[in-house]
Amino acid sequence: MMNKGYELILFVLLLMVAIHEGIAQRISKNTKAELIADISEELKKNYVIPSIVDSMVSLLNQKSESYSDFPQELAAELTKDLFSISHDGHLVVTYDPITYDKMVHPVDDDNPINPWLIEELNNFGIREAKMLDGKIGYLKLTSFYPGSEAREVLIAALNYLSNSESLIIDLRNNGGGSSYTLKLFSSYFFDPDVILSASYWRPTDRVTKSYSEIYVPGKRLTKIPLYVLTSRRTYSAAEAFSQIVKDHERGVIVGEKTGGGAHSGSMVALSDGFTMYISKGKPVDPTTNWEGIGVTPDHEIEQESALFKAHLLALDSLIKTKEQEGKDSRTARWYLNGWNATPFHLPQKSLGKYVGNYGDVEISMDQNNLYFQQKKRLRFLMTPTSESEFILKDNDYAKVVFLGNQPFEKIQIESLIKKETLAKNKTN
């Protein structure tokens, strides 16, 4: 069996050779005419919006003599002209001899070159899965990759986060991917056999409905509140998930309006190393068709601030839910107060009045910063949130309050489970 490291090197080398050949060689006038004819035929037969096909075909034929003779440049020019009429970001012509050859001459091989191998090294788009303050789960997805390996990694991430109080799903850099992986992912957040979406498919001239899976490996997360982060780079399948969440009122969308790619389709081989991704399907409900429009968030905010905003929303909602159910909300409230805390500027000359020993706690100053150390253990940087209150960097479970008139006579260490007051040592 071929070592995957060698497989990756071989794939990259072949790709570099193909790109180099594509840049260096010219194509003939007849090849160019054949390519335009192939594109025209595919558009007439399968493109999702038939009413604009004639206009696209006419434009390609009108400009056929002026197109570049270099394959890469030609593919870019054809894509640009198709977009000028369709405004469809999915409709793309590419010069890719390796993919073309695999599509035209599929090989039954136990060790095929895996075009997704590079993404395997990126963990199939599962870039981060962790628990944030307040038991809020966080899952960062950069794509919905196809294949059983990708789905296994996705399932593992969801099972890891299954005990979260709420879940933040970060799709800000997700450009889409496999509809099958999307369906599996969506199914975790709905009961079995729920209609997720409906779409029209041009090749069959039929409307099909997508249902949540009857079975998913592990625990369904049907009750967990969802917060979906979006940006202008959120596209295609990532937008579809955002729209599903919005249509079913299953969660809250936070961030920027998405890119506007609602169409679905597939890759087709044209001729002489050229391929085209052609849109063949679209959502059937015009009120939820985000093509060229994008999905509008419930909380529209710059994408850089979306995670912070979603975390605050999740904590605030969690507090309200627990209080309505008569449950303990202290943990969520503690973290919400901490996240809402605004850094406070203290003049450098005033820092000395905080320094001293309070019981077994030493407050010290180093390079114009205050530090907290208890029982000679770890030392924590103190960040002021007011003239008398400080939070400790990298210590989520405590804050320090200085009590009394200046100079301060006592400190109070507050945590989730207790408050401890320590007087300033007389020897200071």
Which of 291, 426, 422, 292 lies closest to 361, judged by CA?
Answer: 422
Instruction: Give the count of beta carbons closer than 10 Å to the beta carbon of residue 163.
Output: 12
Q: State how far Cα 191 lies from the chain centre.
A: 24
Confidence of residue 258 (pLDDT cuts 50, 70, 90): very high
Least confident range of 160-169, 182-191, 392-401: 392-401
Mean pLDDT within 78-94: 95
Whether the predicted pLDDT of 307 surpasses 60: yes
Query: CA–CA distance from 240 to each of 88, 168, 229, 291 (Å)?
Result: 16, 17, 13, 11
The pLDDT, as a whole number, for residue 49 is 95
pLDDT surpasses 80 at 412: yes
Residue 27 has pLDDT above 80, yes or no: yes
User: What is the pLDDT at residue 280?
Assistant: 95
What is the pLDDT, as a whole number, of residue 189? 97
| Gyration radius from the chain CA atoms | 29
Is the four-CA dihedral 171, 173, 179, 181 of positive or negative sign? negative
Q: What integer pLDDT is reported at residue 154 of this predicted model?
A: 94
Strands across the sheet with 398-403, in order?
A: 356-358, 361-366, 369-374, 379-384, 389-392, 398-403, 410-415, 419-423
Q: Are strands 226-230 and 166-170 parallel, antiparallel or unpaired?
A: parallel
| pLDDT at 305 > cutoff 50 | yes
Average pLDDT score over the chain: 88
Position 43 confidence tier, pLDDT thresholds 50, 70, 90 = very high
- Percentage above 90 pLDDT, the chain: 67
Q: Which fold has domain 122-317?
A: 2-enoyl-CoA Hydratase; Chain A, domain 1 (3.90.226)
What pLDDT score does 407 carry?
79
Q: Which tens digit of pLDDT belongs to each residue from 128-153?
A: 999 998 899 999 999 998 888 889 99
* Residue with token string 């007011």: 386
Top pLDDT among 285 and 248 is at 248
Nearest CA to 78 out of 118, 112, 35 is that of 35
| CA count, 13 A, side-chain hemisphere, 229 | 25
* Higher-pLDDT residue of 375, 159: 159
Mean pLDDT for the stretch of residues 314-323: 93
How far is it, in rounded angstroms, from Cα 233 to Cα 231?
5
pLDDT on residue 270: 94
**Which of 387, 385, 409 shows the shortest CA–CA distance to 399?**
385
The H or E element that residue 336 is part of is helix 330-340
3-state secondary structure of 201: strand
What per-residue confidence (pLDDT) applies to 98?
87
Global pTM reads 0.80
As a whole number, mean pLDDT of residues 196-205 equals 93
CB of 276 within 8 A of CB of 268?
Answer: yes
Tokens 């957040």 belong to 189
pLDDT of residue 254: 97
Domain locations in the chain as residue ranges: 4-104, 122-317, 348-423
Model pLDDT, residue 228: 98
Q: Report the pLDDT value the prediction gives residue 381, as an integer from 0 to 100.
A: 94
Report the relative pairing of strands 264-269 and 92-95 from DSSP bridges.
unpaired
Cβ contacts of 176 within 8 Å, gap of 6 or more: 143, 144, 235, 236, 237, 238, 239, 261
pLDDT at residue number 113: 45
